[in-house]
Amino acid sequence: MNSCLIPLWGRMAFDLLRSVVITVSAIDMYFAIKYRDTMVELNPMGVLLMNMDNGGVALFMSLKLIGTAVALWLMGVLYCTKRKLAVTVTIGVAIFQLGLAAFLYFG
């Protein structure tokens, strides 16, 4: 049996944390695309990518999506090899994402 699947409750909690990351990332991308004409990007890397894309958000959002997917995949790999570290890292990322969500909504 794959050690990544046991215990079930622990895996479900871990996947819930990763769902927080996915959800906030999706909301962030939605707002960036919806308000692309009026948004003020605070991330210096985001500003650079948008400048490289002639003010567009396509390059920035594409790389952001790829980065999120890679991070989630690495969290899953880490969970299979070093479960406690994976949970700690994922809790940290989820808390950061919740802070981002609060910033997006309340500004």
Angle, vertex CA 95, rays to CA 69 and CA 74, nearest 5: 30
pTM listed for this prediction:
0.84
pLDDT in tens, 43-80: 899 999 999 999 899 999 999 999 999 999 999 999 98
CA distance 19 to 34: 22
Q: How confident is the model at residue 3 (pLDDT cuts 50, 70, 90)?
A: low
